[in-house]
Amino acid sequence: MMRSFVTSLGSVVGLFILALAPAPHAAAQNADPPVVGRAIVRVPDAPGGVHDIDAFIAEFAQGEGIVMTIGDSMLRPAETPPFYAYLLEYPARNQVEVQLALDPENQPSSEYELSGAIVWGEALYAGEASEGKSGSAWVASLDPAHFTNQYPIDLLGLDAAHDRSTGLGVVVAIIDSGIDIAHPALAGRIAPGGLNLIDGTPNVADVGDGVDTDGDLLVDEMVGHGTFVAGLVSLTAPDAKLLPVKVLNGDGTGDGWIVAKGMMYAIDRGVEVINLSLGSTYDSAAIEDAIDIAMQHGIVVVSAGGNQNEGEGDFEEFPASKSDGMGVAATDANDIKATFSNYNDKFSLSAPGDSVPQAGDPDGWNPTKSIYSTLPGGGYGIWEGTSFSTAFVSGAAALIRAQHPEWSASLTTALNVQGYLEGTAVDIYPQNPQYADDESLGVGRLNAAAATMISPPAPALGDLNRDGSVNADDLAVMLAAWGLTHSSADLDGDGIVGPADLAILLAQWS
């Protein structure tokens, strides 16, 4: 049966609006609200590696008469330039004053940025997931076979792509609501580790808390989203590992701080791809910096374009529409823009994300025109949205990355993967002429088969120099990378090159 949720028109649209399709009568759009009493600042690095958050807090107290305290921090002195960010707390009654002080209206910079006390500052934003806005949710499927027979498989050329790469040796971070790691379709495909930033534990299960945390009279309406995304990434790159990073609760709520922190965790685990099936109408400097840092480490970052059928304007989805990563729009089985999908000239690609109802079908949906994936508890379901288009692109990025273990952890690598995917996309503007002038559906629709044809087939696991065998030369490559995080010699995907990787390499010796 369908899980259908309806919210009032007065509901506030959340920060991390998961990219799910709206119901036929979606609620009006709203800007994303702040988390009252919290802000984020990044302070500069000083000579000698010194940075001084206390100096900013003192300067702010003197200038605004508001005392802030440190709630959390992200300190990364090894980055270039070093990254020092702090979550600050202050009295809720001072919300408006803090917002205006850190992000003054009609001014490019605050006085604290101009004085050099901070690099940037911003209010922390949070809110409802898009299901609370749109009234749509997954539909349980009665036929699990649809998962491996759905229309994106042929449309994207996945069978041909898998003849050249299956994503072996690549880790994709699923930054979402968690993953059902016990799902049979995901068995053996979960990377070591994982983190729950909702409660600060290693429990990454895609479950709710039984509480209506966003006040929309619905409980845990977003449970299953991360598992659904994970299933599609795995369908596209079946031998890639998935790293679950839980930043959204059962109602789909999150905030800019924990999403940025989740990305930093994924970076430190040495992933090659980050999937962000989430978005916001607010541009977060913390997330933007996290994307930049990820790309500097060779990580491809893919974000959902959003489902409000919006172009450029007040309700663009960040980071898809404004970051240096890849933004994704949704199309249907005929390469026509999904009615719900946002469109923006900053998007990189389109990919399948549309599902079509069909009366008389046991599931109520057309099995030849719908998106199927995994759900918690070992089940399967049908859903639609740019979240799931994003998952296909992330999976395809993993296929390309697996073909090139010799590529370094650098910005060039991230841009190369993006270039392969964009350069082989299918032109869909004959079917979508109204979006052609500014290419607001990206350069075209993802073509995994063509993208994997550019390079030779992916080498065997452990063939680190791509010479066709696993031997002493590969051992030398591994030993040179011993103890490193961002290396293709991390064969088990645990985030560091060590004894477990050596054991795998020796087992593949030829």
Q: What is the mean pLDDT of residues 304-311?
A: 90
Residues 181-205 pLDDT 10s: 999 999 999 999 999 999 888 999 9
Residues 15-51 have pLDDT tens digits of: 343 444 433 333 345 677 789 999 999 999 876 666 7
The encoded tokens of residue 365 equal 């949906």
pLDDT tens digits for 154-163? 999 999 999 9
Q: What are phi and psi of 165, to 5 degrees?
A: -165, 140
295, 263 contact by CB (below 8 A):
no
Report which residue type is found at 139: V
Which pLDDT tens digit goes with each residue over 474-508?
A: 999 999 999 999 999 999 999 999 999 999 999 99
Owner of token pair 């053996």: 188
Q: Model confidence over 57-66: pLDDT tens digits? A: 999 999 999 9
Task: State the average pLDDT over residues 256-266.
Answer: 96
Active-site annotation, residues: 176, 225, 387
pLDDT attached to residue 49: 60
Is the pLDDT at 128 greater than 60, yes or no?
Answer: no
Domain spanning 138-453, CATH architecture: 3-Layer(aba) Sandwich (3.40)
* Cβ proximity of 501 and 478 under 8 Å: yes
Residue spans of alpha helices (H) in 206-351 = 225-236, 256-268, 285-296
- The string of pLDDT tens digits covering residues 72-99 is 999 999 998 899 999 999 999 999 999 9
What are the angstrom distances between the C-alpha of 398 and each of 179, 217, 464?
A: 18, 39, 16
Please give the model's pTM, rounded to 2 decimal places: 0.92
Predicted local distance difference test score (pLDDT) of residue 48: 61
Confidence of residue 253 (pLDDT cuts 50, 70, 90): confident
Q: Fill in the amino acid letter for 464.
A: L
Q: What is the pLDDT of residue 314?
A: 67
Domain map of the chain by residue range?
35-124, 138-453, 472-507
CA distance 331 to 337: 4
CATH number corresponding to 35-124:
3.30.70.260
